[in-house]
């Protein structure tokens, strides 16, 4: 292993040792976990659940235990972070428990799983971004982070990878940063990967190399702050990668950064947005929901309705370990939004948008990202081509509709078809025509 990989792996080992020394096994993290019971975890003896986890971290433990089940069904909600009084990050503890379980597999299998997952993600990002964005913009944003001769930016806007599948969100975020006068540079795409896919597969060497190289690239820009968009990247860099070798920049999410500069943004709200909306939210990254509510609360004409639904996970795809529960949450939220008579159900993150936006065809309200409402107030419209395709629910129609873009981007038709099958049909946890109190036709 190289220096960065070695630093990463030895740093993780040291942090696990600290957990084993500090954790008293009180079980408070289990008690507050909102998805333990939906994940099939018996919480009647929370101390026993934590004991199972600690056994696994020691290199023993039963992979069929209730503690293993708890680790595998963690959705990253983050309530445990505030509950622990032992100085432990339980979310990191469970991440390392999953790593320990995965490391019981052969190294070649772990490396292959990480590479396959990365390749699948990269192909989807490449195809969907090139179909929706100018080639020069894609090339500029997806270059590896590096030093340049230009003056150091104030901040790096780190988009991550998958938001490039719904690039109207990224463009609107940049529009907002422009309006508040931020001096920033943008990086995203697989060349700036956080390493989470390899980490989840248990390939720590590759995860360390990928994540550490990205952090080093950001540091080389001279920016004092990196603002993430993707909550996965925020958690992976902030809780997994950076603590092993803290860089010379601070990590934050872009939403609290914008919310703290709202006085610079509100003069650009020149249009009323007379809509009644509800927020689809996740609590996993602190300050983001609060920041969105602050920003939307400043939009003239906007009324925000609280649907009083459970707040769990850090993004919709983080609920993958509890698929039935996720479908129930989606169905209940859509039904509650309809009952509340909202004009729009408003998401924060890109994965949520991909999973929910097609329901706009069935319910009497729009499904949008919160930045679309901010853009509307500023007189900016960024077309959502992904939703246009997603609502078709027909890959052949999508291919016909995007034929000009496919040709212009010089993309292979069968590759585009494969990506669209996954994006349009595969990422649809709740069938599009499912309705609470109505007929479910698919």
Q: What percent of the chain has pLDDT over 70?
A: 98
Residue 149, pLDDT score: 87
Enumerate the β-bridge partners of residue 185: 156
Residue 2, pLDDT score: 85
pLDDT at 130 over 70: yes
Average the pLDDT over 405-427 and give the result: 95
Residues 432 and 361: their CA atoms lie apart, in Å, by 8
Q: What is the DSSP letter of 236?
A: I
**Exposed e or buried b per residue across 359-387, where buried means at least 16 C-beta atoms within 10 angstroms of its C-beta:** bbebeebbbbbbbbbbbbbbebebebbbb
Average the pLDDT over 384-393 and give the result: 96
pLDDT at 170 over 90: yes
Average the pLDDT over 188-216 and give the result: 97
Rg from Cα positions in the chain? 22
Identify how many contiguous H helices and E strands the chain contains and give both numbers.
22, 8
pLDDT at 440 over 80: no
Contacts of 21 (CB under 8 A, 6+ apart): none
- Per-residue pLDDT reduced to its tens digit, 74-119: 999 999 999 999 999 999 999 999 999 999 999 999 999 999 999 9
By the 8 A CB rule, do 96 and 57 touch?
yes
Average the pLDDT over 219-247 and give the result: 97
Residue 228 φ then ψ, to 5°: -85, 155
Q: For residue 124, which of 172, 165, 166 has the smallest C-alpha distance?
A: 165
CA triplet 198, 199, 200: central angle to 5 degrees?
A: 90
3-state helix vs strand vs coil in the chain, percent to 5 = 55, 10, 35
pLDDT at 218 over 50: yes
Average the pLDDT over 179-200 and give the result: 97
Residue 436, pLDDT score: 58
Q: For residue 199, which of 191, 210, 207 has the smallest C-alpha distance?
A: 207
Residue 364, pLDDT score: 96
Residue 147, pLDDT score: 86
Sign of CA dihedral 242, 246, 247, 250: positive
Average the pLDDT over 357-368 and give the result: 97
- Per-residue pLDDT reduced to its tens digit, 135-168: 999 999 999 998 888 899 999 999 999 999 999 9
Average the pLDDT over 172-179 and give the result: 98
Residue 111, pLDDT score: 97
Mean pLDDT of the chain: 96
Structure tokens at 256: 């609290």
By the 8 A CB rule, do 312 and 329 touch?
yes
The helix-helix angle for 167-179 and 107-132 (nearest 10°) equals 70
pTM, two decimals, is 0.95
- Per-residue pLDDT reduced to its tens digit, 48-83: 999 999 999 999 999 999 999 999 999 999 999 999
Q: What percent of the chain has pLDDT over 90?
A: 95
Average the pLDDT over 169-197 and give the result: 97
- Per-residue pLDDT reduced to its tens digit, 282-291: 999 999 999 9
């Amino acid at each position: 292993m190289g220096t960065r990989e070695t630093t990463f792996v030895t740093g993780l080992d040291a942090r696990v040792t600290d957990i084993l020394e500090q954790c008293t096994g009180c079980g408070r993290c289990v008690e507050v976990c909102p998805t333990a019971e939906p994940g099939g975890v018996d919480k009647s003896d929370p101390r026993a659940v934590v004991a199972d986890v600690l056994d696994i971290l020691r290199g023993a433990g039963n992979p069929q235990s209730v503690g293993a089940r708890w680790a595998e069904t963690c959705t990253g909600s983050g309530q445990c972070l505030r509950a622990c009084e032992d100085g432990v990050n339980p979310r990191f503890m469970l991440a390392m428990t999953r790593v320990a379980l995965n490391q019981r597999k052969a190294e070649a299998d772990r490396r292959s799983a990480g590479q396959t997952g990365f390749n699948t993600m990269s192909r989807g990002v490449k195809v969907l971004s090139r179909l929706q964005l100018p080639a020069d913009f894609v090339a500029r944003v997806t270059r590896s982070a590096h030093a340049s001769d230009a003056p150091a930016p104030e901040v790096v806007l780190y988009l991550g990878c998958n938001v490039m599948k719904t690039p109207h969100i990224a463009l609107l975020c940049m529009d907002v940063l422009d309006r508040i006068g931020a001096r920033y540079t943008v990086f995203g795409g697989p060349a700036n990967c956080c390493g989470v896919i390899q980490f989840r597969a248990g390939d720590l060497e590759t995860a360390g190399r990928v994540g550490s190289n990205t952090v080093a690239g950001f540091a080389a820009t001279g920016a004092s702050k990196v603002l993430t968009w993707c909550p996965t990247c925020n958690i992976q860099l902030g809780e997994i990668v950076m603590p092993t070798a803290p860089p010379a920049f601070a990590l934050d999410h872009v939403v609290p950064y914008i919310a703290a500069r709202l006085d610079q943004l509100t003069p650009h709200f020149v249009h009323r947005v007379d809509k009644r909306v509800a927020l689809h939210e996740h609590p996993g990254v602190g300050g983001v929901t609060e920041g969105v509510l602050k920003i939307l609360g400043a939009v003239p004409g906007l009324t925000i309705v609280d649907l009083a639904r459970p707040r769990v996970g850090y993004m919709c795809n983080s609920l993958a370990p509890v698929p039935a529960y996720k479908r129930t949450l989606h169905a209940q939220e859509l039904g509650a939004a309809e009952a509340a008579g909202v004009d729009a159900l408003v998401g924060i993150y890109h994965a949520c948008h991909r999973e929910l936006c097609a329901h706009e065809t069935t319910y009497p309200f729009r499904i949008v990202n919160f930045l679309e409402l901010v853009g509307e107030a500023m007189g900016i419209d960024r077309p959502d081509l992904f939703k246009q395709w997603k609502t078709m629910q027909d890959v052949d129609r999508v291919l016909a509709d995007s034929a000009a873009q496919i040709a212009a981007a010089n993309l292979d038709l069968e590759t585009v078809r494969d990506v669209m099958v996954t994006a349009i049909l595969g990422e649809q946890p709740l069938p599009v025509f499912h309705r609470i109190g109505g007929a479910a036709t698919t």
